[in-house]
Structure 1
């Protein structure tokens, strides 16, 4: 495993650099704007996917829509008409509370009272009848006073807005602000991190004095211009002022005061002073560092009942729709410029933003994004990053894709679970970018770098080993070395019997075709059994197992290949004569042992080959197959490596160039596949061989003649009968070890 990690060092280092970069962004060392945009997209996607898409009948919007403007005249309406609207809502429909998403910043002069008062002070000053009529009509024509009179003593919340000075521009103020919920100095040394404002546009003093309260309706736009949050408190000259939605929810619930979620003493002592929530009675509203809360949009436009203001004025509404309801008076008319871009729509009435927030407060269902999610994001980045960097180095392309999808699915699933079940909003964009980025790095690395490695490996070994071994070597290129090495392996030699005589009757073209067909067939068999072709020596083939890729079953694969080669030769002996070619037979020698393997040769020509005594013995064994009349001969180390095979010991020989005698064996097949009569024949030969080595010539001869009578085609038995006859004529003596010495290769 260490070698695998070492092979993927650059891939892993690149992945770690991506991880470090994202960690530094999360920690605030530097800023990647793209991640903010992706996070906004992810937030909007979750919101749209998981919002309930239901209508909340508790909050009703009285709409200053196109229908109302057409019926009642353009906005602003006379305050007498607005007063009549308020009367209808409370007196005729029994609503619970009314909030205005509009500002009454300028006096209503539509009645002409100001002109009439000017006449009373000038040209008509001396006319008593006029003065008397003015005193009687003035209260009815003072529409601001009339409106103030109609909202006084009723739960009516007015709206206003704050402004922030831009550059050197002078801050503008108009109207009168309500009393702040937290006057300057009320919080002692604690200063809330609410946005500080420089000016405002508020209601007329008489209206402000008559109303139950007033709340700001400032939106809070994210950098992309989308209204996802509403500031519950804004700061102006040291005082903190409530939003319209917070005020309406508070008064509807009968809560007199807003409770702040101060950190505990230990946290404050450590310098942590951020307030993460406010409370209205038992309802907890989470806020962020700007004292803003996420708007819990229920769905697209129309998540609350809309009623045209003109229908209320003319009593065309079912009272059941309004009785006891929270009323917001606002507009959807495009000309009145109260349309916003929100996560659920690009053209969305601002009044419905307040309705969504009030609904979420009443349901105690506001999503929170507390400061500690920074630590959670860092932890997720570290855990996912390190895990993916380490694991992807061990996987192939398909498993890498499946693993990446599983990790991404787990992160997204947990994020959605936290959103839906505990109202926790924590970042997902950085983790998603990390997961996909690491996957992309691995894929790009695999495409550009591992493809080059595979081409190099294929170039080195493609002519020697089968494609599947080339693929394995590509996955483990550290094993694909052509440097010299010494290891235990199995080597095979095969040769065509009497090839010279067979080839004499063929033209050069026929001989070429014959050899191509034969060598291709035998090479395919060797490749199918994971063998490496060393070389072709005329009609001979040399192959080995255990390099370049280590193979703990090299002896088994080598013997399986030898048996398969002989089986394939039987098919070729039937096929070749049909093409006019001679039937061929081959002998195969197989031996297992320690040998040297590597790219050997001269500076002019090199070959990936094996060398050593074990290799030489395999070559001698191939030559001895003719002497014993068998198709395959193996050495004793090969026999020892395959205890589940049946072998017949043929002899102990001392081959040319070797002083130490070796036992040689003929493989007959797997234990459970060899017939019982064959096993019995092997046992009888073993007894005859033991008698032969003990110089019990008569017993050995009797056993061998019986075997030869049953198997007259077997050269082996005739060979030993000839040796017995020779030994009788020239006894080997008492010190004879039963070893036969071959003087030639």
Structure 2
């Protein structure tokens, strides 16, 4: 019986540590969700969102919006930029008159006057037609005032755009001839720190007035019907997507290829199919590199700037049609997911291997990426990387801790086991692929039980020191052969021992090894008795019983004390055989099971006897040892 002591406090401390790891993982996600910085997201959030944006973006045609592009071909046909204002006026008149567009927004501003006739026509269109002019509000914190700032809603009267707004530091407006334009939109923007345009200001404050972005100005001008009594889609969209710093995330729901793009020269030459323009909302811009209207977006490292306005306008139209993504509580979902993973980790980490736990965390991370992919369309403010960082924390902290605990436990168990098992067996245990080598299992073993005959008579009159020395020397004669033959020392029985072969590792020739050990024990006792005879002391007889059969071997016990032992009928028979040697002139008595399993030894049949606790007689044998 190998005693493996267990600390009462160790499981409590270990369980508390696992709970703390789980709580810490949940806190990481919660902090990253609920204490997100106003402007700068956590590392990796935007990169991951960009990947999701690319995956989400659709090529399904956006038939409500048409882009009129002043492209390289148009510049070659019509002439280099800037075009005469009369050409711009012709372009707008064709779109509204000949083609029947619902409205036109210009992603172009005119800070200086040009040809008088063209400017006059452009001014009339801007004042009386469904035309949205552009102006640029600047956010670089340097005073800037070029041209004339047009329009604006008094901030104290503003009701529809009640969300946070950003304050501009300057502007680039249009020339004085356009100051009576009825609709005006801001085309100023600030890219993120990495140069990618993900956010725009839906509403900007400057000197007490509020100025909408170009897309919302076009929507209010030509798409929104305020008489329906319904909530404005601008309110719904902007409130869901605007950060506390006044910037909203651009809903890049479509690739550029999903939008209808018509060359400006085709409109001027009346060559464009009217089906692509009639009743459409038109954004007039440029993809020409010569005009430098190129931006980096999550969808492309270089794309036309009017894609940004078209994307926002498409989002407003979706909200108006009731098909915009419904807002989800992404922060709460992320926190609950991390809590669920933490609960699984607290349960599995103390029970499974480091590799298994790593696989579980990897699978949880993949599942979260699927969740995050779905949530990103519905929540613009949650951190998609937070649960991944929580899982990384568990992987880098909890998994090594669990591995360290498991290694420490194994080393302690094996260190204790090495006192009772041959070093070669311990080394083999360490090399084995057994998941838990000390777990109880049924196995075929050979048990050897040895004892000193007449122990009381030998030590009864001896001083304590001498009695202890005799006992130690006798046990040494028994123990050394057991360990040398790779046996497992189960326990000492005061003046004897119990050992077995075949556990914790299976041994093919367990019967022969036990018999070899029995022979060596008797040889040691002969030498031991020769020494005693020379000292004038009585010889000591040792008795041995050996039997083979099925037994259950493993780590048994409670939280107070654990033992490694073997129990079973064959173990009991070995004990009865050792006891039977009292009345026989043979020191080693062998059972029938061992005789059947031995391959290198010869035996002498001693007859049959009903052993204690048995109903039927058992065959008894002894070894035939050649001199």
Structure 2-normalised TM-score?
0.67
Is 2:112 the counterpart of 1:158?
no
| 1:235 counterpart residue number | 205
TM-fit CA distance, 1:92: 1.8
TM-fit CA distance, 1:297: 1.6
CA distance in 1, matches of 2:15, 2:85: 77
- 1:403-458 deviation per Cα after TM superposition (whole angstroms, max 9, x unaligned): 223432443333333346x5676322011111132123244345666556655655
**Could you say what secondary structure the match of 2:156 adopts?**
coil
| 1:77 counterpart residue number | 83
- 1:360-386 deviation per Cα after TM superposition (whole angstroms, max 9, x unaligned): 21122555778x655555454445445
TM-fit CA distance, 1:106: 0.9
Greater shift after overlay, 233-242 or 622-631? 622-631
| 1:203 counterpart residue number | 174
Is 2:388 the counterpart of 1:432?
yes
Is 2:50 the counterpart of 1:52?
no
**Could you say what secondary structure the match of 1:48 adopts?**
helix
**Could you say what secondary structure the match of 1:74 adopts?**
coil
| 1:351 counterpart residue number | 306
Aligned partner (choices 76, 87, 93) of residue 87 of structure 1: 93
CA pair 17-90 structure 1, distance change in 2 beyond 3 A: closer
CA distance in 1, matches of 2:396, 2:110: 58
**Could you say what secondary structure the match of 1:221 adopts?**
coil
Aligned partner (choices 271, 289, 298) of residue 316 of structure 1: 271
CA contact (8 A) 1:492 1:558 kept: no
CA pair 430-297 structure 1, distance change in 2 beyond 3 A: same
| 2:233 counterpart residue number | 279
Higher relative contact order (CA 8 A, sep 6+): 2
Greater shift after overlay, 383-392 or 396-405? 383-392
Aligned partner (choices 210, 214, 224) of residue 194 of structure 2: 224
CA pair 241-650 structure 1, distance change in 2 beyond 3 A: farther
Cα RMSD of the aligned pairs, angstroms, is: 5.2
Pairwise mapping of residues 332-347 of structure 1 onto structure 2 (< 5 A)?
A: 332-347=287-302
TM-fit CA distance, 1:353: 0.9
CA distance in 1, matches of 2:125, 2:99: 15
CA distance in 1, matches of 2:344, 2:417: 34
Structure 2, unmatched stretches of 5+, are: 1-7, 440-444, 451-477, 493-498, 516-543, 557-563, 567-571, 594-606, 622-627
| 1:412 counterpart residue number | 369
**Could you say what secondary structure the match of 2:222 adopts?**
helix
TM-fit CA distance, 1:204: 2.4
CA contact (8 A) 1:39 1:428 kept: yes
**Could you say what secondary structure the match of 1:245 adopts?**
helix
CA distance in 1, matches of 2:511, 2:228: 94
| 1:178 counterpart residue number | 150
Pairwise mapping of residues 574-653 of structure 1 onto structure 2 (< 5 A)?
A: 588-589=546-547, 617=575, 620-621=578-579, 623=581, 631-632=590-591, 650-651=609-610
Aligned partner (choices 35, 42, 53) of residue 28 of structure 1: 35
**Could you say what secondary structure the match of 1:157 adopts?**
strand
CA pair 560-308 structure 1, distance change in 2 beyond 3 A: closer
CA contact (8 A) 1:493 1:590 kept: no
Pairwise mapping of residues 619-698 of structure 1 onto structure 2 (< 5 A)?
A: 620-621=578-579, 623=581, 631-632=590-591, 650-651=609-610, 663=612, 665=614, 682=616
CA distance in 1, matches of 2:429, 2:310: 68
CA pair 15-383 structure 1, distance change in 2 beyond 3 A: closer
Alignment length (residue pairs) = 515
| 1:393 counterpart residue number | 350
TM-fit CA distance, 1:152: 4.1
| 1:250 counterpart residue number | 220
CA pair 258-23 structure 1, distance change in 2 beyond 3 A: farther
**Could you say what secondary structure the match of 2:136 adopts?**
strand
**Could you say what secondary structure the match of 1:161 adopts?**
strand
Structure 1-normalised TM-score?
0.57
